[in-house]
């Protein structure tokens, strides 16, 4: 390998900070030393990484490609070191877990108890940031397992089915719609409707329930945190379509009600996503097996 770790760190610092002065300060070296490091890297790979644009440096097209790799790779190495330091003094193996789309963790205490009984050498760590970027979180190794609704077919990502769920209309408790056996898209026409994503996700309510009817809710507001949506609905400010499993704790506490979508309902599969590069019988693979077993018995 022609470049050393200090050159990759240099690329990351310059990309994130944008100037030699700030990057040099972040790296703990002088501006002159940083300029020499840039020149050294360009000699080693026989090509220009940067070009001058006024007082600032601008990445060349080739420089942008190699910097993108630096931005992806260095965080993985940093997390690997942090994990080693934590695990070196522990008998437990840490597995980072997150939930895609929904900030729903009411089930975690029971699952941790299950893990402690079945595999005391595993320690679960929650990664809340996974909710918004599940696939990139896996690819960049900031999380080891993502529990995700729907089916996310992505190269390099392995999908293990966990359980079947359903999408339901979530309303304030004892709302007039909650007394119906099921709702139709027309019921949403003039009611305040909350959604957690502006993106139309394949296999979810807009594609399968709302769009085919031709009836679009007039009052739609995007609230990116599903736990915030639950608070708004509980306060009587609107409705949403969400995973029944994800909001089950709020349903059981009678803060909200749920209603079936259409006469046949709308099913939703949940899976555990892991990297295909995981070694056989790794800590992540062991935890996925425990997730499968726990959902069979819970």
Query: Where do the domains of the chain lie?
Result: 5-87, 90-161+270-297, 163-268
Spatial CA neighbour of 248 closest among 88, 104, 36: 104
Most confidently modeled range among 89-98, 123-132, 140-149: 140-149
Between CA 10 and CA 33 the distance in angstroms is 11
Q: What is the 3-state secondary structure (H, E, C) of 135-188?
A: HHHHHCCCCCEEEEECCCCCCCEEEEEEEEEEEEEEEECCCHHHHCCEECHHHH
Topology of domain 163-268 in CATH is D-Maltodextrin-Binding Protein; domain 2 (3.40.190)
Specify the pLDDT at position 151: 76
Least confident piece of the model among 2-6, 50-54, 282-286: 50-54
Least confident piece of the model among 61-65, 228-232, 235-239: 61-65
β 256-261/157-172 pair status: antiparallel
Contacts of 1 (CB under 8 A, 6+ apart): none
Q: What is the mean pLDDT of residues 27-56?
A: 86
Task: Calculate the dihedral angle through the C-alpha atoms of 272, 276, 282, 283, rounding to the nearest 10 degrees.
Answer: -30
Reported pTM: 0.70
Specify the pLDDT at position 85: 64
Spatial CA neighbour of 288 closest among 155, 138, 129: 138
With beta carbons less than 8 A apart as the criterion, state whether 175 and 238 touch: no
| Average pLDDT over all residues of the chain | 89
Who has greater pLDDT, 288 or 20?
288
Question: What CATH architecture does domain 90-161+270-297 belong to?
Answer: 3-Layer(aba) Sandwich (3.40)
Specify the pLDDT at position 83: 66
Least confident piece of the model among 49-53, 206-210, 276-280: 49-53
With beta carbons less than 8 A apart as the criterion, state whether 36 and 100 touch: no
> Could you give the percent of the chain with pLDDT greater than 70?
96
Q: What is the mean pLDDT of residues 88-114?
A: 86
Pick among 1.10.3720.10, 3.80.10.10, 1.20.58.1910, 1.10.10.10: CATH of 5-87: 1.10.10.10
Confidence of residue 193 (pLDDT cuts 50, 70, 90): very high
Domains 90-161+270-297 and 163-268 share a fold: yes
Q: Is the pLDDT of residue 133 over 70?
A: yes
Specify the pLDDT at position 90: 56
């Amino acid at each position: 390998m022609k470049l050393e770790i200090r050159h990759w760190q240099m690329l990351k610092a310059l990309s994130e900070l944008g100037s030699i002065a700030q990057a040099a300060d972040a790296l703990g070296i002088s501006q002159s030393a940083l300029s020499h490091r840039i020149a050294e890297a360009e000699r080693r790979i026989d090509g220009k990484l940067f070009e001058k644009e006024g007082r600032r440096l601008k990445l060349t097209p080739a420089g942008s490609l190699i910097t993108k790799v630096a931005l992806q790779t260095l965080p993985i190495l940093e997390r690997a070191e942090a994990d080693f330091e934590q695990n070196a003094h522990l008998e437990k193996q840490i597995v980072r877990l997150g939930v895609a789309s929904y900030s729903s963790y009411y089930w975690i205490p029971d699952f941790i108890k299950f893990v402690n009984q079945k595999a005391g050498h595993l320690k679960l760590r929650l990664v809340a940031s996974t909710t918004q970027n599940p696939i990139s979180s896996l690819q960049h190794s900031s999380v080891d397992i993502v529990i995700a609704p729907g089916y996310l077919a992505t190269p390099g990502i392995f999908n293990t089915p966990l359980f079947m769920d359903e999408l339901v209309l979530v309303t304030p408790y004892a709302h007039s719609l909650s007394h119906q056996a099921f709702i139709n898209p027309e019921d949403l026409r003039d009611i305040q409707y909350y959604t957690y994503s502006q993106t139309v996700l394949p296999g979810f309510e807009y594609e399968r329930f709302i769009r085919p009817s031709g009836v679009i809710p007039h009052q739609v507001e995007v609230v990116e945190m599903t736990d915030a949506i639950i608070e708004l609905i509980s306060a009587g400010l609107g409705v949403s379509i969400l995973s029944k499993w994800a909001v089950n704790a709020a349903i059981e506490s009678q803060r909200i009600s749920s209603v079936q979508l259409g006469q046949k309902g709308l099913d939703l599969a949940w899976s555990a996503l892991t990297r295909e590069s995981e070694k056989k019988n790794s800590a992540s693979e062991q935890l996925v097996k425990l997730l499968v077993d726990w959902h069979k018995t819970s």
